[in-house]
């Protein structure tokens, strides 16, 4: 029986740059940063397992995966172009005070695609990471 989700994957263009973005700009914590070597079939040389998560949520890790992970070079190039274009959404991140978090992240250089706006489910602003992946940043409406 499946009991929970422990990891979610996200393709990034440069793992070092993504690590800095998620830790320095978003305030996430590194959970794993391990060179797994080339022992994994299809992973390619120097396979790196890099995961981060918000400080208060260590039980769910976001995998910052190199676009080459498990792909041939032609597929990796296609993924690289799609990620850079902003074709993928990374999910929904929550904030207790969206307006405050929006100001703080903007001051740290996070690029927002939309300012905070009222939605049926709460307040939302959308931003992109340094690779091009977009996220909804949401403050849920009280039930």
Distance CA 121, CA 119 (A): 5
- Both structure tokens of 86: 């902003």
Q: pLDDT tens for residues 90-101?
A: 999 999 999 999
Q: pLDDT tens for residues 109-121?
A: 999 999 999 999 9
pLDDT at 41: 52
pLDDT at 143: 77
pLDDT at 45: 53
- Both structure tokens of 29: 């914590």
Q: If the chain, 143 residues long, is cut into consecutive pieces of 10 residues, what is the mean pLDDT of each piece?
A: 95 97 98 80 68 96 93 93 95 97 98 97 97 97 83
Answer for the pair 33, 53: CB distance below 8 angstroms, yes or no. Answer: no
pLDDT at 46: 60
């Amino acid at each position: 029986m499946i009991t929970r989700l422990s990891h979610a994957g996200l393709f990034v263009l440069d793992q070092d740059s993504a690590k800095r973005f998620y830790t320095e700009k978003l305030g996430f914590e590194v959970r794993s940063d391990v060179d797994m070597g080339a022992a994994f079939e299809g992973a390619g040389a120097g396979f790196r397992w890099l995961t981060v998560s918000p400080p208060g949520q260590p039980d769910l890790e976001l995998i910052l995966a190199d676009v080459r992970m498990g792909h041939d070079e032609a597929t990796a190039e296609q993924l690289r172009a799609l990620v850079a274009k902003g074709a993928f959404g990374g999910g929904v991140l929550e904030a207790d005070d969206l307006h405050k978090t929006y100001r703080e992240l903007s001051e740290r250089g996070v690029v927002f695609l939309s300012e905070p706006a009222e939605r049926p489910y709460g307040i939302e602003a959308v931003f992109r990471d340094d690779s091009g992946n977009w996220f909804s940043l949401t403050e849920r409406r009280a039930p």
